[in-house]
Structure formats: C-alpha cells, structure tokens
Amino acid sequence: MRKAYNIASWYLDGPTFGHSLRIVNRVLGNPDQMVVAMLHDFVEDGGQENALEYLRDEAKFPEHIIEAVDAISRRDEERYFDYIQRVKANDIAKWVKLADIGDNLEGRETPPKPSLKKRYEKAKKILLDLEGVNDV
C-alpha cells in the first residue's frame, strides 16, 4: 500500500489524490482493493506514459493488481457502459469502481448534475447485477 500511496502522491494532482484517498477509505479491510483504489486514476490522470508497464516493470506490482488497474482504467474513445461492463469482469476493479461511484455521488462539494447522477446509478446497477430491477 505504501508503494501505491507514494506513486499516487507523486503523479496525481491534489484533488485527484484526495479522491483516491477517499476511495481507499471506502474499501478498508481489503488490501488488494486498497492498492487499486489508490492507483485507480493513475493510468488516466497520472501523466505517466506507459503507466501499466511502469506499475509492472518498475514498481513491481503483482499481475492481479495490474489487471485490476487496467480494468478500472477507461480507454480513449470507450463508451461509458462498455467500460462499466469491462470493469465488472474484474472483481477487484468492480468493488473499487463502486466505491469510486459512491465518492463521485457523495464526496463532492457540489452534487453531480442529474444526468451524471442517473449514469452513475445505472452503472451501480450493472456492477451489482441489478439492471432491470425496479426500485421499490
């Protein structure tokens, strides 16, 4: 976890790093999820070219962590719900993404716009296999 913290604190800007810390707090108790939570924005927002290779070859994270960070990292031009389906396929990434969505819904100074809130709520249902289940 210390290595993930150091990488995130070095490469991520202040607000993004703070967001990562809040995600870690949402998955306390699961070391793999905590590491992935700390690194979950590293590939997209860290400014490190070949970020996954860096995590594998330089930082020496185990392959299951690399796979989870890869799964939670949205690709350029990837449609959001295609991305969510890909996240869902990796159990570590799935739970970290649920924590990420929770922080995006609740952890901000200003609430998300209704359209973004609706997208996050749909993503949660997909990740939890509740798609099509009506709210009571």
Distance, C-alpha 91 to centroid of its chain: 12
The residue-averaged pLDDT of 4-17 equals 88
- What is the per-residue pLDDT across 91-109, written as a single tens digit (0 to 9) for each? 999 999 999 999 999 866 6
What is the pTM (predicted TM-score) of this model? 0.90
* Orientation of helix 91-106 relative to helix 80-88, angle to 10°: 130
pLDDT of residue 132: 60
Q: Which residues neighbour 23 within 8 Å (Cβ) at sequence distance 6 or greater?
A: 37, 38, 40, 96, 99, 100, 103
Domain spans, the chain = 2-127
